[in-house]
Structures are given as C-alpha cells and as structure tokens.
Amino acid sequence: MKKMSLIIAALFVSLSAQAVNHVGQCVMPKSSVQKDGRLAVKPIVVKASPKDKEGKVESKLWTMSIVGQDGAMVQVVEAESKKPIGWVQFKDLELQEPRNCNL
C-alpha cells in the first residue's frame, strides 16, 4: 500500500512539473473586443533577457512560439519567420491553437 501511494505521488509530481513548461506553445498578446467590434491588443513589455529591469513596450498583434522559459518569463519568436522577439511575462500572453503558429 505504501509503494502504491509513493507511485501515485511521483506520477502526480511529474505531471504537474510538465504542466508549467510552456516551451513549444503558440501564444499572442492578450486582447479584448472593443464596443465597435475591433480587437484591442494589450501592450506587452519585451526584454532582451529575463533578468533585465526594463524593456520596450509593444502593441502589435502577432502570433508567437515559446522557445525558452525562465520562471515567469518566456522567450518568444515570431511564429512564421522564427525571428527572435525577446522575453515577455507569460501572464501577458494568451494561448492559441497550434494551427495558428503553423501557417
């Protein structure tokens, strides 16, 4: 019985560890629909490295792929061209269907 509970605990830990890794996912900046029906993109701060204090503010609507992660920061590239964009807070992004990155 003790072995069984250890196996279940180990399985739970390994599954939850995988859930936090966002590498390979398709994302875009968070957005909202305005009253006139247009999409309003919320600005994101793009940094050169995850440890930088400041970065540049971007308000573009683009699909991105996550290629790296350092805590709450993720490294993103443009989905189509794979051109590096930089590091952004994951909380400023929303997940997209993979088909949006595989154009």
Strands (E), 1-103: 26-29, 31-33, 39-41, 44-46, 56-58, 64-70, 73-78, 84-89, 93-95
Q: Where are the domains of the chain?
A: 22-100
Across residues 4-24, what is the average pLDDT? 61
Determine what percent of the chain is predicted with pLDDT higher than 90.
49
CATH node for 22-100: 2.30.30
Residue 88's nearest CA partner among 33, 15, 62 is 62
**For the whole prediction, is pTM greater than 0.85?**
no
- Under the banding of pLDDT at 50, 70 and 90, the label for residue 57 is very high
Task: Let me know: does 66 contact 75? Beta carbons within 8 Å.
Answer: yes
DSSP 53-64: S--EEE-----E
